[in-house]
Amino acid sequence: MRLSRYFLPILKETPKEAEIVSHRLMLRTGMIRQEAAGIYAWLPIGLKVLRKVEQVVREEQNRAGAIELLMPTIQSADLWRESGRYDDYGKEMLRIQDRHEREMLFGPTNEEMITEIFRAYVRSYRDLPLNLYHIQWKFRDEVRPRFGVMRSREFLMKDAYSFDLDQEGARASYNRMFVAYLRTFARLGLKAIPMVAESGPIGGDMSHEFIILARTGESEVFCDKALLDLPIPAEDTDFDSDLSPIVSEWLSFYAATDEKHEPTRFEAEVPAERRISARGIEVGHIFYFGTKYSEPMKAVIAGPDGVERPVHMGSYGIGPTRLVAAIIEASHDEAGIVWPDSVAPFDVGLINLKAGDPMTDTACGDLYDKLRAAGRDVLYDDTDERAGAKFATMDVIGLPWQLIVGPKGLAEGTVEIKRRATGERHALSAESALARLA
């Protein structure tokens, strides 16, 4: 993409309304624009990152055996009356009336709808286990939308729902999502720690929030430092095998949000030098809730004995829009964002230091074509801005690599490459630069 033809509305000033660094940087780099309180438009460079985050989430859901579908954003109130949640959900739910005065709502989550779909088609234990997910916009009328897309009212969620014959099966489904989540967040360059969370009326130990430690996080969390160094399950993990040894290892170290925190246990189990008491951002939440929806909504399956019983369910959420902000919170410096390779909006930023100079234009055009032919996504700054402004723009938008080309270097037969994360710069021949980046 040539910057002269792109839409990258970088702001010169730091927006005053933004309280946290990710929100400031997302506004400054033209990733998002607020259209109403807690409601954002995703501008081109922001959308590119969001799509990449989504894709990592999708790949890891698929790897774990979950199957993608797509449910609508608008739901009927009647569905929620069946589960009894229509009245309980309260003001966070955006309620809408259509022209026939039918009560509708903008979905804050999809347990009811997926249960309705399941019961329409699945009758036998032979069709289980089943895990269905979608990546769809949600609306929650948050009391205090803030920090940009970190806590917005309209936000994207990946929500998966598992169906099993019994609690034992449900635990295996839970473990698959647990491992998928560890892999997902690691691929996004994040250290997300699964922490015991409030599990509601069902009880048991089957609810975990995945939390990233960050000063600006809204949750208060307590955990063992050892969790930061545990190995992430490999790409070739067999999701058909028993995953409980992996899950048990993670759960053997203390980690809890403030609601579930037990100070005496924390002090007894964790040596003083390994105790982390910090703030965190919830980026995912997995949850087993048994027959909470299947019972009232009559989603029943026949077991091997022919007897019908309500199906056991779990739900598994990740917030891709919140994750974009969380990644920035975890990866930035004074100059701006430092994107992990896996989600960077472009792979390489090509800087032409003297647009209009025939030799520089030709060299840049050639590098641009060759990098693109090699499958790299390149943002080519072909504008006539000053060099300093170009460097600042590339730094603030945080592309992993910069390729800097100017007449001085070219006269000596060199271009420069810069790694954004470390700031390291090397002068080398155009061929070597290509070999490095392509």
For the bound state, the minimum distance from the C-beta of residue 334 to ligand ATP, rounded and expressed in Å, comes to 27
Q: Which residue's Cβ has the minimum distance to ligand ATP?
A: 319
Q: Choose from ligand ATP, Mg ion, none: what does 289 bind? Cβ within 5-8 Å by kind.
A: none
Contact call for residue 138 and Mg ion (CB under 5 A): no
For the bound state, the minimum distance from the C-beta of residue 285 to ligand ATP, rounded and expressed in Å, comes to 3
Taking CA atoms, 246 is separated from 59, 89, 316, in Å, by 20, 35, 18
For the bound state, the minimum distance from the C-beta of residue 75 to Mg ion, rounded and expressed in Å, comes to 18
Q: Choose from ligand ATP, Mg ion, none: what does 128 bind? Cβ within 5-8 Å by kind.
A: none
Backbone angles phi and psi of 256, in degrees to 5: -150, 150
Run of H or E including 312: strand 312-318
Give the residues lining the site for ligand ATP (CB under 6 A): 140, 142, 151-152, 155, 157, 282-285, 317-319, 321-322
Q: How far apart are CA 254 and CA 395, in angstroms?
A: 38
Largest CA distance in the chain: 82
Backbone angles phi and psi of 375, in degrees to 5: 90, 10
Q: Is 114 exposed, middle or buried (0-12, 13-18, 19+ CB in 10 A)?
A: buried
Separate counts of helices (H) and strands (E) for the chain: 13, 23
Nearer to ligand ATP, 182 or 363 (CB): 182
For the bound state, the minimum distance from the C-beta of residue 207 to Mg ion, rounded and expressed in Å, comes to 9
Q: Choose from ligand ATP, Mg ion, none: what does 322 bind? Cβ within 5-8 Å by kind.
A: ligand ATP
For the bound state, the minimum distance from the C-beta of residue 165 to ligand ATP, rounded and expressed in Å, comes to 25
Binding residue for Mg ion (CB under 5 A) from 28, 285, 292, 390?
Answer: 285
Q: Which residue has the tokens 């990740």?
A: 318
Q: What angle do CA 311, 171, 231 make, to 5 degrees?
A: 150
Q: Tally Cβ neighbours within 10 Å of residue 160.
A: 27
Using the contact rule CB under 5 A, the part of the chain among 119-127, 253-261, 279-287, 428-436 near Mg ion is 279-287
For the bound state, the minimum distance from the C-beta of residue 108 to ligand ATP, rounded and expressed in Å, comes to 8
For the bound state, the minimum distance from the C-beta of residue 326 to ligand ATP, rounded and expressed in Å, comes to 8
Nearer to ligand ATP, 177 or 415 (CB): 177
From the list 285, 222, 280, the residue with the least C-alpha distance to 255 is 222
Q: How many residues bind Mg ion (CB under 5 A)?
A: 2
**Collapsing DSSP states into helix, strand and coil, what is residue 218?**
coil
Tokens of 202: 């069902």
Nearer to Mg ion, 138 or 285 (CB): 285
The residues facing 106 across adjacent strands are: 74, 94
Nearer to ligand ATP, 155 or 391 (CB): 155
Binding site for Mg ion (CB under 5 A): 282, 285
